[in-house]
Amino acid sequence: MIVVSNTSPLNYLILLGHDDVLPAIFGAVVAPPAVVMELSRAGAAAAVREWMCHPPPWLGVRVPRTVDRSLDLDAGESEAIALARELNADRILLDEAKARRVAMNLGLRVAGTLAVLHEASDRGLLDFARTIEALQQTTFYLDEKLVRAILDRIADRPA
């Protein structure tokens, strides 16, 4: 499976201490250089910068051949979308609404941090409700209706 990630999903999974769910679900993840730079910059959380100093072997970095700057997205989003298209990725991890719309309009299969956490919960890798409580302590924008819908699905699944 080929999965490309933008900055936000990696950032928040690292902050939550759940970056280990990515290789458990996807095997490996690829990120473009702009994402690596965003995660390494001075404004990133210290834990994220430290993580990037010693990235795990499941994180690959690839340079996209061409990037469409006319998409009017930030560098990480533009490069991630370009890379996902070039690699014919099975999934692209994006949280920002505009970037998600652009990626979907280009025919890419999009998942965000919440979808990854939901999948991890379904696989017994984490407690979704507790993880959402921790996520609420960050700057992540949580769509309360979406969170409630996921919690309802989890409550309805057979034990």
Q: How confident is the model at residue 127 (pLDDT cuts 50, 70, 90)?
A: very high
What is the model's pLDDT at position 147? 87
Full domain range(s) for residue 80: 3-114
**Is 23 inside a domain boundary?**
yes
Arithmetic mean of pLDDT, 32-38: 98
Q: Is pLDDT at 87 greater than 70 in this prediction?
A: yes
Tokens of 63: 């340079």
What is the model's pLDDT at position 159? 63
Query: In this predicted structure, which of 43-52, 116-125, 130-139, 150-159 has the lowest mean pLDDT?
Result: 150-159
Q: How confident is the model at residue 24 (pLDDT cuts 50, 70, 90)?
A: very high
What is the model's pLDDT at position 57? 97
**Is 34 inside a domain boundary?**
yes
**Is 14 inside a domain boundary?**
yes
Contact between 30 and 3 under an 8 Å Cβ cutoff? The reply is: yes
**Is 100 inside a domain boundary?**
yes
Phi, psi of 26 (to 5 degrees): -110, -15
CATH number reported for the structural domain that contains residue 75 in this entry: 3.40.50.1010
How many Cα atoms are found within 13 Å in the side-chain-facing hemisphere of 145?
0
What is the model's pLDDT at position 150? 86
What is the model's pLDDT at position 138? 94
Tokens of 118: 């939901």
**Is 102 inside a domain boundary?**
yes
* pTM for the full predicted model: 0.94
Q: Is pLDDT at 157 greater than 80 in this prediction?
A: no
Q: pLDDT tens, 49-77?
A: 999 999 999 999 999 999 998 999 999 99
**Is 136 inside a domain boundary?**
no
Arithmetic mean of pLDDT, 39-50: 96
Question: Looking at 18-146, which runs of residues are DSSP E strands?
Answer: 29-31, 59-61, 91-93, 110-111
Mean pLDDT of the chain: 95
Arithmetic mean of pLDDT, 24-48: 97
Number of domains making up the chain = 1
Contacts of 109 (CB under 8 A, 6+ apart): 89, 90, 91, 92
**Is 149 inside a domain boundary?**
no
**Is 76 inside a domain boundary?**
yes
Q: Is pLDDT at 151 greater than 90 in this prediction?
A: no
